[in-house]
Amino acid sequence: MDPALVKLALGGVALLACIGLFFGIGLALAAHKFAVETDPLIEEVLESLAGAQCGGCGYPGCEGYAIAVVTDPDVPPNLCYPGKEKVAERVAELTGKKMAEIEDMIALVRCSRPEGRVSHKHEYIGFASCTAANLGFGGPSACQYACIGLGECAQACPFDAITMVDGFPAVNPDKCVSCGTCVKTCPKQIMVLQSLKARVYVPCSTKDIGKKVKEVCEVGCISCQICVKKCPAEAVRQDNGLIQIDQQKCLDYGPSCEEICVEKCPRDIFRRYDGRQVIRRHPENGLKMAG
């Protein structure tokens, strides 16, 4: 090989090495001088979180929560919903906070539009989003509290736990981590988080009086309040037209009431719940409702 060529090649390599060394030292010095002080604890907490960036904790991403839980003594350690108990324990251990009991929750659809055969009051033409459809006279459904069915919750769910089946959301209990994104997204506020231990559940969100409900829906709650009167634990109440169940009171009372609320409901909208599925009293009358 021509020695001149070798010389040229070596010269090039040497020059590049010199440039590399110069900038390397420069960067090293800069990194040292301008280093941002980070609490190693934040890093550690961040690593222990589920890392789904779901925002269920209410902070902007996992890092936001990590900073908050380390720096703010009032932020509880059990807000990482996808991480469940394991992550909460680890965060509590790292931050030295007292670990409150974490309750396994799941998102449920508080509407039975397909079962109730709720008709459409108008045809919606426009941007296919529930919030947009809701701006036009409360959406196309004849019941103003019913699911609109354009799947904004399914799109928003960071865990793909919601699928739209015939224009109605179905929650996959295996995928749902109860982050609450759907609850915040739904313009009709029919997505709710419910404890997996809950025994009963009302899949209807109407606040209308009985007459109006009967006009539009075959199963919707008609505010007869039989459940409120019959519950021996006084766990059922009607709040602003909406049936609410105090799950703690219900669980504390135990199964001896034999779910009289479910048995006595004239609309069969008070349902038993086994942690995975809402069960109708007379399943032969209709399909089981997923999630």
Partner 1 sequence: MTTLLTFPKGGVHPPAAKEYTAHLATEAMPVPDELEIILGQHIGAPCTPTVSKRAEVEEGELIGEVKKGLGVPLHAPVAGTIKTFGTSGHPMRVSAPSITIRTDQAAPARTYEKKAWSQLDAKELLAKVHNAGIIGIGGAGFPSHVKLSPPPDNPIDTLILNGAECEPYITADHRQMLERSAEIVEGAKIILKILGITTCHIGIENNKPDAISAMNVAVANAASEEFTIKVQPLQVKYPQGSEKQLIQAVTGRKVPAFALPSAVGVVVHNVSTTAAIHDAVVLDKPLYEKVVTISGKGISRPANLRVKVGTKLSDIVDYLGGVTDDLAKIVMGGPMMGFAVSSLDIPVTKTTSSVLFLAEDEIDTSPHSQCIRCGWCLEACPMGLEPKEVAIHVEAGRPQDTKQFGVFECFECGCCAFVCPAKRPLVQFIRLAKMKAAG
For partner 1, give the closer residue by CB, 144 or 172: 144
* Helix, strand, coil percent content, the chain, rounded in steps of 5: 40, 15, 50
CB of 217 to partner 1, least distance (A): 15
Q: Report the residue from 82, 138, 203, 291 that binds partner 1 according to the rule CB under 8 A.
A: 138
Q: Does 132 bind partner 1 (CB under 8 A)?
A: yes
CA nearest to 162, candidates 26, 290, 9, 41: 290
Q: What is the rounded CA–CA span in Å between residue 42 and residue 243? A: 42
Bridge partners, residue 289, by sequence: 278
Of 20 and 60, CB closest to partner 1: 60
Toward partner 1, which CB reaches closer, 26 or 167?
Answer: 167
User: 249 near 197, Cβ under 8 Å?
Assistant: no
Q: State the CB neighbour count (10 A cutoff) for residue 290.
A: 16
**Shortest approach of partner 1 to residue 141 CB, angstroms?**
10
Distance of CA 97 to the CA centre of its chain: 25
Shortest Cβ 135–partner 1 spacing (Å):
6
| Closest distance of CB 273 from partner 1, Å | 30
Tokens of 79: 């807000």
- CA gap 21, 23 in Å, rounded: 6
Q: Whole-number minimum distance, CB 122 to partner 1, in Å?
A: 4
User: Are the beta carbons of 175 and 196 closer than 8 angstroms?
Assistant: no
Q: How far is the CB of 124 from partner 1 (least distance, A)?
A: 10
> Contact between 169 and partner 1 (CB under 8 A)?
no
Q: Which is nearer to partner 1, 46 or 156 (CB)?
A: 156
Residues that bind partner 1 (rule: CB under 8 A) add up to a total of 16
Amino acid at the residue 187? P
Rounded Cα distance, 78 and 101, in Å: 8
**Interaction between residue 189 and partner 1 (CB under 8 A):** no
Q: How far apart are alpha carbons 110 and 273 in whole angstroms?
A: 13
Site string for partner 1, 110-129 (x = CB under 8 A): -----------xx--xxx-x
Which residues between 198 and 237 bind partner 1 (CB under 8 A)? 208-209
Contact residues toward partner 1 (CB under 8 A) are 121-122, 125-127, 129, 131-132, 135-138, 140, 144, 208-209
